[in-house]
Chains A and B, each alone.
Chain A
């Protein structure tokens, strides 16, 4: 008689660490952590081949809570570390965790270059429109007029749209998720992982202490169906409780507009079909903002090209094949002479 070894079914718990999670109770980060752990399981990720790299901020504590390799680095610079890791070992699956302050303020420059180079990374930008860890100052995505300790009369800064920034930087994968839709977010992250090259995922994340309910107008449970549009490639961009609202292209204005099927002679044929390889459409979608428009979620743009790390190693491999790596001969290149 033999005993069959029990085959353990992979579970998100496999990616939990023994570390006590130190985010505020009710923080959106908990849900995102869960979504990431689900994506790791569903993608068949191996903990030993996975690395989480972060900068500084609330979101950047993330690596301590995933049972993979992790590197909690310095403020804004995670893309540099991640690039070095990926260049030395392209087989590693590298995730980058950052926030609106870390990734777009102090680290905006590095984010720009990681995206344009197309380093094979999954970049998750937790956008809560506030500095949490330093106790509530406004961030580069905060809305004008926001009163914070450093803007007692209200912020006069124009905010930045992370997804527009990413597209402008040349990102080949741009997506968006919400902390309140774990399943949807998890499948978006799965797509991000499958994508070779830099995948940029903006995640709306509620900061319960310093900027609570800032996304309430489209994340509130009762409103969500009417205020969120979840994109699917090749399908009509339609939403709403009755599934009758949709996006139509207005050629006179060169813009998207919300229409309702059945009103003003609008039919389903008028609704645009999502094409995630169309960069012009991606820009237009990223520009849409609630409340006039629904919050656009899911994969907005996905148009792969060879990744930076791949190109770097292709050149090295070619050089290795072409040239003989003889170190002593290297020291003797150029003019030499012999003294006897």
Chain B
């Protein structure tokens, strides 16, 4: 590929919104058949930039060229006609419609249904993305839903494919399938613009990278030639501090689970089988495994959303298995579930109200049954300051925060309640590198203060970084916990029930 005529050339793009400059004089280029990464923290302006390329946003200044021709799409239809396709992070599928209907909606001039179904089958086989055109999208898994979007794009034979954080909702196996597809596409000459927080993925997949910070291009590099740490520091603009602590597993046993078996509550749930473990004061227990293997169910048992026999869960030898979340919270067992909007936080309530919801008891935010809003607001403000939550103030609704910021708020809210036991599921899911480091550090600091912490995560790198002991959850069974220090990738693979089930650490840095 010659560098002379890049497929897409962007020069001096600027877009300002009231109060923020989302993109400021952004320039870069992508060659045909290349995979180009766009890196940056939450709010660095990546989404605005790709929306501009896809015709959803009109730039204030600057120009784009596609195949050397001036390119200024008025709307997504124009962008698609020019050969630009985009796979969205979310918001682009219709749950009640079936796969073929969803795909037809994203096409300029869809063929009749029977032809389209045949075409979908053909493309899905060519690229190794199995998909049944007749299924209702609402019933599909996250990985399958993404396949719908990708196939929708592929059917139009795009010249440029934009992918906005495609792997944040995928299991490691699904990520591997996706990468094979992307490499095949690139080898056929399609340029790919790839946005992700996951630096190891970018190092393994991308040919070049442009780093954005606060709307400006701050650096460009070849990802395979620099370390993930370097990439993270380019994004953040400062030296990253690896979370550190003095580990300890010699405290008293705080939480003990014995013989936990629980049938699945729904058709889509996982039943838990004979789970048993102990967590000591000051210990961080990391529970790894692919999502959907009982993580949500285990968190529900620990937080009290699902009650069991009293003796199944014990805290300081006291049976608490039959207690609900409120009683457990009073004792100091707190939890932060994975789903931020709707489970960990009420989307349309303000941050103050959300702080009140779990903090009322332990922070004494009520008095004689009346809510003390002054105190709740102070508590919310404290969380916002301590965890660097970026929001105009505690009066704003949870929904208005970006995923990473809300995650900081949710985790911070529990940590500041001074728990004795804290259970978190996917604490840094969708959170950028510096915020993730801050959350991990806060968890470690809490452990140093003597709390027992259980971290459930799909991110094995994260678990290796902060855990004292490690256990794997697979099809509702938990392996016996082992000290994390000195565990090799092979050990972990075996604990997860066979290394082929889970690809460990992409690119194995």
Q: Are A and B a genuine interacting pair, yes or no? A: no
Interface residues of B (CB under 8 A from A): none
Interface residues of A (CB under 8 A from B): none
